[in-house]
């Protein structure tokens, strides 16, 4: 299958810019506004859905199943490692809060919306966003190509 | 390396880390991945033992996540933290879950050797273990819901292991629907409780529960959610499908998760609600008797070995419910009979998973050798594989409650105390046990004795034999020294369950 018409493809490519900006915005502002890693990741994954519809088989190289699966695993490992790093106090402890430089004091009440106020929470949001983006993309890619693949019988 | 106060959380975090890293190691090499999974499980087992020893020595172990120190459970006097609370009861269940998972993975090394999806299977098994340990150790009602979902999703994916078979997918789908229903019921109950008390911590809730009408509704909903998951009688229909269609080691994991949800049920009824009326106890005991009757009578007519064991698993759940339910009708604080019934029920959790685990693994080995599940087309395996026959026989005698195996000890405790509570229930239980022996003798006869089918059979891999051997050994040891096991494992657990005051005192 060769995908949809040129108009749709160009529109999908143009839409990638605002959609990814919005997705990254939701992830980055996870600790300040509604939303966060999961929601932003899901927004990002709509790009994959858009591209699969518009480009069909041609997207196979860009959305590689192996690569997506590796990214997903690494994002999960990052997430749990951040939780483990807090073990000097407790598991999941926010050890980067008030650490200076990039990690400022927490925002309380009405504030300027500075991004450097969440300690490890923005980092965890990024890991979750990456994981959700790659996992949802993986699901969509597998559902799209899986309908054409033959499932070989597992020996065991 | 790590402070001993972190043991409780490490017990959940280590298998979770293992689950995520397994896929990476699987890309490098399969033997490295196997070693890694075994190392993770061995360290989890070690942590469970450490936690158990710690709890027995120092009393309740509490861990507040994200706090500035691990025991800061109620900052400013209000219990808002997500906490883990471990007493002797949780410690026992987590030890059982870790041990069984370790044995199952050792078995999988041989059983699933030729599979191409082992990365994912091990990841899911580790995730399932994480879910079970989370359900066991958590002291927070909402976390209970989260881990309930983790268990559901990973088990459903594992049930569909033979993904090319329609029946496996159907069984997985059925399980998914049932557990999603259970999870929604659970969430609804949590919402009812939260709307009344603004509390999610189980200990704080136990301290302030007022037994309003809404509380009763929530209790009934919670009991139904966990009975759905455990597969007692009104909600048993997913069990034969799921246990029968999943690979044998996965069936053992499912069995363990059913027992873990029974533990949560007992924790909620005993510790959180601690009901004053005997109605709940009567209901549980009645459901237990019905499960025994239905499970055994349906097992009698099965021709597929896995389904037969699955039906007897329903009956075994019934024995546990009968024991604990009848102790709930009496006051176990004062009555020796009630305490004995409770200990019998809890002891049976341990024995059930060992006996049925051994039978499931033996059935898996039979399937591995013959690629056949139908008992009518099997026979004569006792001549070619006598060791397997001995393992099956040990499982058979233990699950039918014959001395000197472990099933006898716990079933005797249940019978003698239930007899005081209601003689009829005890008689039905004994009859169920006798019928169970009949069921398994029939199965043993048609698989291991009789005419040998005309085909060449291979050898059972050593790791499978080792896994079954460890289970058989545990069955024998517990059967020969039940008093020691009861003294050091079961009585502290039962004590912890009937004294909600200690559980509350750990947090507030």
Q: Which residue from B37, B51, B241 is spatially nearest to B159, judged by alpha carbons? A: B241
Q: Does B364 have pLDDT greater than 80?
A: yes
Nearest Cα of chain A lies from the Cα of B486 at a distance, in angstroms, of: 34
Contact (Cβ atoms closer than 8 angstroms) between residue B64 and residue A90 = yes
Selected for mutation to probe chain A from B9, B19, B20 (highest A CB count within 10 Å) is B20
- Tens of pLDDT along B450-465? 877 667 778 889 999 9
Which residues of chain A have a Cβ shorter than 8 Å from any chain B Cβ? 69-70, 73-74, 76-77, 80-81, 83-84, 86-87, 89-94, 151-156
Q: How far apart are CA B27 and CA B24, in angstroms?
A: 5
Where in chain B are the domains?
A: 4-505
Q: Given B10, B21, B115, which is nearest A155 (Cβ)?
A: B115
Residue B146 predicted with pLDDT over 50: yes
* Residue pairs spanning A and B at CB distance below 8 A: 70
- What's the pLDDT score for residue B80? 78
Residues of A in contact with B247 (CB under 8 A): 156
CA-to-CA separations, B125 to A129, B32, B104, B106, in angstroms, rounded: 25, 17, 9, 12
Residue A47 burial (CB count, 10 A): 19
* Structural domain contains residue A63: yes
Task: Report the distance separating Cα B237 and Cα B244, nearest Å.
Answer: 12
Domain that residue A128 falls in:
6-146
Cβ distance of B163 and A84 shorter than 8 Å: no
Chain B neighbors of A156, CB-CB under 8 A: 111-115, 247
The per-residue pLDDT of chain B, averaged, comes to 89
Task: Give the span between the Cα atoms of B413 and B416, in whole angstroms.
Answer: 6
How far does the CA of residue A79 sit from the closest CA of chain B (Å)? 10
Is the Cβ pair B115, A156 closer than 8 Å? Answer: yes
A77 domain residue, yes or no: yes
Reported as a pLDDT band with limits 50, 70 and 90, residue B119 is confident
Interchain CB distance below 8 Å, B17 and A89: no
Distance to chain B for A124, nearest Cα, Å: 14
Residue B454's pLDDT is 63
Q: Is the dihedral of CA B190, B191, B193, B198 positive or negative?
A: positive
Closest partner residue to B20 (CB to CB) among A80, A89, A93 is A80
Token readout for B189 is 């109950």
Task: Identify the closest residue of chain A to B123 by CA–CA distance.
Answer: A73
Q: Is B327 left (phi over 0), alpha (psi -120 to 50) or beta?
A: alpha
Peptide bond before residue B281 is cis, with ω within 30 degrees of 0: no
Helix (H, G, I), strand (E, B) or coil at B279: helix
Q: Is residue A151 part of a domain?
A: no
Bridge partners (DSSP) of residue B304 are: B374
pLDDT grade for B1, boundaries at 50, 70 and 90: very low
Gap from B161 CA to chain A (nearest CA, Å): 9
Tokens of B184: 């929604």
Percentage of chain B modeled with pLDDT above 90 = 59
Instruction: Let me know: does B406 contact B478? Beta carbons within 8 Å.
Output: yes
Give phi and psi for B457, each to the nearest 5: -115, 145
Q: What is the nearest CA distance from B218 to chain A, expressed in angstroms? A: 30
* B298 confidence band (pLDDT: 50, 70, 90): very high
Q: B-chain residues within 8 Å CB-CB of A74?
A: 24
Interface test with A, best of B12, B23, B249 (most A CBs within 10 A): B23
Name the residue in chain A with its Cα closest to that of B113. A156
Helix (H, G, I), strand (E, B) or coil at B52: helix
Q: Does B68 touch chain A (CB under 8 A)?
A: yes
Closest CA in chain A for residue B118: A156
| Alpha carbon distances (Å) from B369 to B167, B384, B449 | 21, 11, 16
B-chain CB neighbours of A83 within 8 Å are 13
Note the pLDDT of residue B61.
Answer: 86
SS3 of B2, please?
coil
Q: Is residue A152 part of a domain?
A: no
Is B387's Cβ below 8 Å from some Cβ in A? no
Give ipTM to 2 decimals: 0.87
Which tens digits make up the pLDDT trace of B8-25? Answer: 889 999 999 999 999 889
């Amino acid at each position: 299958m060769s995908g949809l018409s040129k108009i749709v493809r160009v529109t999908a490519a143009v839409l990638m810019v605002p959609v990814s900006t919005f997705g990254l915005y939701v992830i980055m502002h996870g600790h300040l506004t509604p939303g966060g890693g999961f929601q932003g990741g899901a927004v990002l994954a709509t790009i994959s859905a858009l591209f699969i519809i518009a480009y069909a088989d041609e997207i196979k190289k860009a959305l590689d199943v192996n690569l997506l699966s590796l990214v997903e695993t690494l994002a999960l490992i990052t997430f749990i490692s951040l939780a483990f790093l807090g073990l000097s106090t407790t598991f999941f402890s926010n050890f980067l809060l008030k650490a200076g430089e990039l990690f400022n004091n927490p925002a309380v009440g009405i504030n300027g919306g500075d991004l450097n106020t969440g300690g490890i929470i923005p980092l965890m949001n990024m890991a979750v966003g990456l994981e959700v983006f790659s996992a949802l993309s993986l699901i969509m890619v597998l559902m799209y190509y899986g309908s054409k693949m033959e499932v070989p019988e597992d020996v065991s | 390396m790590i402070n001993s106060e972190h043991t409780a959380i490490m017990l959940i975090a280590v298998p979770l880390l293992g689950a995520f890293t397994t896929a990476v190691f699987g890309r490098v090499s399969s033997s490295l991945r196997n070693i890694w999974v075994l190392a993770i499980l061995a360290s989890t087992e070690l942590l469970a033992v450490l936690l158990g020893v710690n709890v027995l020595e120092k009393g309740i172990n509490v861990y507040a996540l994200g706090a500035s120190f691990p025991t800061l459970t109620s900052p400013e006097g209000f219990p808002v933290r997500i906490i883990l609370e471990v007493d002797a009861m949780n410690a026992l269940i987590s030890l059982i879950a870790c041990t069984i998972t370790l044995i199952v993975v050792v078995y999988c090394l041989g059983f699933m050797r030729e599979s191409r999806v082992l990365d994912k299977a091990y990841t899911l098994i580790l995730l399932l273990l994480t879910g079970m340990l989370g359900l066991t150790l958590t002291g927070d009602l909402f976390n209970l819901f989260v881990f309930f979902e983790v268990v559901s999703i990973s088990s459903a994916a594992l049930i569909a292991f033979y993904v090319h078979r329609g029946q496996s997918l159907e069984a997985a789908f059925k399980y998914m629907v049932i557990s999603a229903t259970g999870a929604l019921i659970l969430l609804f109950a949590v919402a009812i409780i939260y709307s009344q008390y603004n509390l999610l911590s189980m200990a704080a809730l136990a301290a302030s529960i007022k037994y309003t009408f809404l509380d009763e509704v929530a209790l009934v909903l919670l009991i139904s959610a966990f009975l759905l998951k455990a597969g007692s009688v009104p909600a048993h229909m997913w069990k034969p499908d799921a246990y029968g269609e999943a690979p044998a080691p996965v069936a053992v994991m499912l069995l363990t998760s059913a027992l873990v949800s029974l533990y949560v049920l007992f924790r909620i009824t005993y510790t959180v609600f601690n009901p004053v009326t005997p109605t709940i106890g009567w209901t549980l005991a009645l459901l237990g008797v019905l499960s025994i009757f239905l499970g055994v009578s349906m097992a009698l007519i099965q021709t597929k070995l896995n389904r037969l064991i699955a039906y007897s698993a329903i009956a075994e759940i019934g024995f546990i419910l009968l024991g604990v339910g009848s102790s709930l009708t009496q006051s176990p604080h004062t009555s020796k009979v009630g305490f004995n019934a409770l200990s019998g029920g809890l002891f049976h959790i341990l024995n059930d998973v060992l006996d049925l685990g051994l039978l499931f693994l033996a059935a898996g080995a039979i399937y591995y050798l013959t690629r056949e599940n139908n008992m009518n087309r099997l026979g004569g395996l006792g001549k070619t594989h006598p060791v397997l026959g001995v393992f099956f026989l040990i499982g058979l005698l233990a699950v039918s409650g014959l001395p000197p195996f472990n099933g006898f000890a716990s079933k005797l405790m249940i019978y003698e105390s239930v007899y005081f509570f209601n003689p009829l229930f005890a008689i039905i239980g004994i009859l169920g046990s006798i019928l169970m022996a009949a069921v398994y003798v029939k199965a043993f006869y048609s698989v291991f004795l009789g005419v040998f089918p005309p085909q060449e059979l291979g050898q059972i891999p050593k790791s499978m034999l080792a896994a079954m051997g460890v289970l058989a050994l545990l069955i024998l040891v517990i059967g020969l020294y039940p008093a020691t096991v009861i003294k050091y494992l079961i009585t502290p657990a039962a004590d912890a369950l009937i004294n909600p005051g200690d559980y509350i005192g750990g947090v507030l």
